[in-house]
Chains A and B, each alone.
Chain A
Amino acid sequence: MGSWLQQLANWYDRRQQLKQPWQQLRYVALDIESTGLSPTKHDILSIAWVSIHPPAIQLGNAQYHVFAHGQEIDLGQSPTIHGLTKDDFVHSSDPKQTFAMLSRALNDAVMVCHHKGMDWGFLKQVEKAYDIPMKPLAVFDTLAFEKKRLEKAKGAVRKDSLTLSACRKRYGLPDYSSHHALTDAIACGELFLAQAYSVNENELTAKHLLLKK
């Protein structure tokens, strides 16, 4: 079968899957800590993800990896921001293996992150650099969801009201110390559940949720 046909079949399959009630799908909440904001210029320092089978986040299957990037990486300001020290890098993971694992995790799942631009951008770089496909069914952006919701409720939205912890606060979620990829991935997953359950509609499909204003 031609590859464009395969792609079409995949696209159709994804569309069908997203038509299911959102609770039927699997989600992967993900967070990346990097040396900077630009996926093309900067490197991934650590990555964490956790699977969500609604209603439960599988804390036990959470993955957390730190990359050493050989020895030459310049940590710059980052060690203080991300709480990573030289010691963490001693237990670093092999990027290729890690991303292969992530690729499998994302397969047939909706990826969830807080601010798609960053995390998705880095994953696109990974796709290129290691030739590992990152093909989630869709990407759910907790930040974008919240932005739309607030805009709908009260128009203008202050930027600082969209940080992960500010969003969590609005749903009464506990205060976590942030900027650790694993904590942030779980925090993002919890926020996703809170957002999804806050939409008061019967038979809400994943597609609806993704497009929800």
Chain B
Amino acid sequence: MEASDFLKQCPPFDELQKEHLSWVISQLQSVYLNEENCNDVMNSMRPALFIVRSGIFDLRSSDGELIERLESGDLFGYPSLLTGREITNKLKTLKDGIVYVLPEHAFDRLRKVSKQFEQYFIKAHGQRLLTERKANTTSESDWSQQTVRSIVAKDPISLHSETSVQDAARLMSNNGISSVLVVDDNQLVGILTDRDLRNRVIAEGLPLDIRVSAVMTQLPESVNENRSLMDALTVMTSSNIHHLPVINDNNQPVGMITATDLIRQQRSDPVFLISAIRKSESKKQLIEEAAKLPDYLQTFASRVKQTSVLGRLMASVTDGMTRQLIKLYEQEHGAAPAAYSWLAFGSQGREDQTLSSDQDNGLLLSNGLSKSQKEWFAGLGEYVCEGLGDCGVPLCPGNIMASNPECRGTIDEWKEKFNGWITSPTPKALMYCQIFFDSRPVMGEGRFYQTYREEIAKLANNDMFLGNLAILVNKIQVPLGLFNRLRTSDADGEDTIDIKRYGIALINDIARIYSLKEGLIVPGTVARLKALKESRLLNSKDNQSLLEAWEFLTQLRLNHQLKVWGTNKPKNAIDPDELSTLSRRQLKSAFRIIKEAQQGVGLKFSRQGY
């Protein structure tokens, strides 16, 4: 029957079992609504769930305010079914149509027999449409979101820092482990590995009774047991280490995980790719490994629940390639002549990279470099940027790359640049700020970078500057037309919406403004929103909505990119007609959230409003 074919496509009915769906049909009524009859008809039917089959209707509150424009596949009437409250909303017909009616008793029964059905409406009612689909993916397949604790098999094997290295070696040998935690008074103070024993004890000819504290790695990197395996992987790859101590919330060591533990979790996963990149011995080999990324991603993407993981994964891969290229450059031209940091900006900095993201990078250099030292870094910039390009990370059309002398500077030089942008906020300067404030060190000394980042964070807390950023954010109109209809533009003869420009980038911009005001230095949008949970500037409900909208849009973009990968179709342009009813509804909600958030920053940061 036509009605059942229709409902099969219409959430949440698409989730129902076959027999429940045919039961729905047996309870279903169909009404014809036009301008004259719609409120009479509605009143004679309610309370009931209404499903628009055709036509266009406006749902308005009793005081005439538009609540929602309803089109084919949209549902209404459920709030009163859930709450038992009287209905005061009015319906206005813009285009006559057919509306299906499911009576209250049928609605109640479906809520009892189908948990998904029940949850759909609870969530929809809470204006939480954006998260509803996530529960669908099975969690077991998503290894990277498992917690670190879940793979810590054994109790930690540890020793006191006063132990002799021979006793330490004996302990490691007896337990068949290649590394051991060094713990004093329940606190992790170091880590000792096979490699340390080889390089720092035997090769150096040190006596076997020397204390562990003399040769261990002090204050090693560690990971909290509640973090995800993806986080552990990120720490390992960014610090180039194979053993990672696991600590609990009280900073006490609870175990150790190794790269092998991670690889064992999922043999086909990009962990391999990252490790293959790290092992590449030539540029040619590195380029060959990098070429495998899209395929890895295709298989990996089908298994992960949260796409933010993929943005981080891609950033990790780009980081890995960058570090390997730096290493290869050093093999040819000698080690770096001075302290420096290789900086990732933009999407790599925020760790929300996609398959089509360009490079955005730069160099933070020590003061007082000689001409030849400067030349070494100039060569490094050129070599790495070109290498990344060969590895499939497109060159930046705006030339924001370490190969450009403008993107290499000392802390003072960078500060001067930021200061210039902040005090004379031309459109270009503001655009630079949107890129350069999202920075992260990929290689080089941590403390050095930290100083730079704290210095420029101080510069950003400037009301006029933040006001200008807020105005800029409000210059871009989300593609919602009158009455919340999606507005497309036909750039290439197709009616599409650029969800990066009109969606993801706007949320990034909004999160950045709040972060700059709060002096936060984390670059990622998700991390920023999480850190802003405590902020008085952004209430927690709006914060959560922005996060959900961001995740929905990045997911949508990724799915689209995987679909059009290898074609010349635009990588960020979505055709709303190709979306499911649910996704279209979610897209509208996401844009609505962004629109409100834009107005929010407009009011809070710019005196002119927006």
Closest chain B CB from A112 CB (angstroms): 13
Closest chain B CB from A142 CB (angstroms): 13
State A143–B71 Cα separation when bound (angstroms). 28
Determine the residue in chain A with the shortest Cβ distance to B44: A55
Closest chain B CB from A124 CB (angstroms): 28
Say yes or no: A190 contacts B30, CB within 8 Å.
yes
- A11 contacts partner chain B, Cβ-Cβ < 8 Å: no
Residues of A within 8 A of B97 (CB): 172-174
Closest chain A CB from B45 CB (angstroms): 7
Residues of A within 8 A of B291 (CB): none
- B273 contacts partner chain A, Cβ-Cβ < 8 Å: no
State A101–B100 Cα separation when bound (angstroms). 26
Determine the residue in chain B with the shortest Cβ distance to A195: B32
Say yes or no: B32 contacts A190, CB within 8 Å.
yes
Contact of A56 among B40, B45, B54, B95 (CB under 8 A): B45
Say yes or no: A183 contacts B2, CB within 8 Å.
yes
Say yes or no: B29 contacts A174, CB within 8 Å.
no
- A130 contacts partner chain B, Cβ-Cβ < 8 Å: no
Say yes or no: A59 contacts B3, CB within 8 Å.
yes
Q: Scan residues 160-213 of chain A and give those whose CB is less than 8 A from a CB of chain B.
A: 171-174, 176-177, 182-183, 186-187, 189-190, 193-194, 197-198, 200
State A68–B90 Cα separation when bound (angstroms). 50
Say yes or no: A173 contacts B30, CB within 8 Å.
no
- A58 contacts partner chain B, Cβ-Cβ < 8 Å: yes
Residues of B within 8 A of A56 (CB): 29-31, 45, 101
- A126 contacts partner chain B, Cβ-Cβ < 8 Å: no
Say yes or no: A55 contacts B3, CB within 8 Å.
no
With A55-B44, A183-B1 as given contacts, are A174 and B31 in contact (CB-CB < 8 Å)?
no
Residues of A within 8 A of B45 (CB): 55-56
With A172-B95, A174-B53, A186-B2 as given contacts, are A59 and B30 in contact (CB-CB < 8 Å)?
yes
Determine the residue in chain A with the shortest Cβ distance to B37: A197
Q: Scan residues 14-61 of chain B and give those whose CB is less than 8 A from a CB of chain A.
A: 25-32, 34, 36-37, 40-41, 44-45, 53-55
- A60 contacts partner chain B, Cβ-Cβ < 8 Å: yes
Contact of A173 among B27, B31, B54 (CB under 8 A): B54
Say yes or no: A173 contacts B29, CB within 8 Å.
no
- B562 contacts partner chain A, Cβ-Cβ < 8 Å: no
- B124 contacts partner chain A, Cβ-Cβ < 8 Å: no
Determine the residue in chain B with the shortest Cβ distance to A183: B2
Say yes or no: B1 contacts A55, CB within 8 Å.
no
State A177–B36 Cα separation when bound (angstroms). 29
- A62 contacts partner chain B, Cβ-Cβ < 8 Å: yes
- A57 contacts partner chain B, Cβ-Cβ < 8 Å: yes
Q: Is the interface of B mostly helix, strand, loop or mixed?
A: mixed
Residues of B within 8 A of A198 (CB): 34
State A190–B45 Cα separation when bound (angstroms). 17
Say yes or no: B98 contacts A174, CB within 8 Å.
yes
Say yes or no: B54 contacts A174, CB within 8 Å.
yes
Residues of A within 8 A of B28 (CB): 59-60
Contact of B96 among A58, A59, A194 (CB under 8 A): A194
State A200–B36 Cα separation when bound (angstroms). 9
Q: Scan residues 487-508 of chain B and give those whose CB is less than 8 A from a CB of chain A.
A: none
Say yes or no: B29 contacts A193, CB within 8 Å.
no
Closest chain B CB from A114 CB (angstroms): 16
Say yes or no: B29 contacts A172, CB within 8 Å.
no
Say yes or no: B26 contacts A55, CB within 8 Å.
no
Determine the residue in chain B with the shortest Cβ distance to A186: B2
Say yes or no: B54 contacts A186, CB within 8 Å.
no
Closest chain A CB from B387 CB (angstroms): 56
Closest chain B CB from A186 CB (angstroms): 7
Say yes or no: A57 contacts B31, CB within 8 Å.
yes
Say yes or no: B32 contacts A58, CB within 8 Å.
no
Closest chain A CB from B392 CB (angstroms): 45
State A186–B2 Cα separation when bound (angstroms). 9
Residues of A within 8 A of B101 (CB): 56
Closest chain A CB from B454 CB (angstroms): 61
Determine the residue in chain B with the shortest Cβ distance to A196: B32
Determine the residue in chain A with the shortest Cβ distance to B3: A59
State A177–B6 Cα separation when bound (angstroms). 12
State A189–B100 Cα separation when bound (angstroms). 14
Determine the residue in chain A with the shortest Cβ distance to B54: A174
State A60–B102 Cα separation when bound (angstroms). 10
Closest chain A CB from B587 CB (angstroms): 23
Say yes or no: B30 contacts A57, CB within 8 Å.
yes
Determine the residue in chain A with the shortest Cβ distance to B27: A60
Residues of A within 8 A of B30 (CB): 56-57, 59, 186, 189-190
State A146–B31 Cα separation when bound (angstroms). 20
Residues of A within 8 A of B26 (CB): 60
Closest chain B CB from A168 CB (angstroms): 10
Say yes or no: B95 contacts A58, CB within 8 Å.
no
Residues of B within 8 A of A176 (CB): 2
Say yes or no: A59 contacts B41, CB within 8 Å.
no
Write 7 A-B pairs (CB below 8 A) sorted by A numbering: A55-B37, A57-B29, A173-B32, A174-B53, A174-B98, A186-B30, A190-B30
Question: Chain A residues in contact with chain B, CB under 8 A?
Answer: 55-60, 62, 171-174, 176-177, 182-183, 186-187, 189-190, 193-194, 197-198, 200
Query: What 10 A-B pairs come out closest when comparing CB atoms?
Result: A193-B32, A56-B29, A174-B54, A60-B26, A57-B30, A59-B28, A55-B41, A55-B31, A172-B96, A183-B2
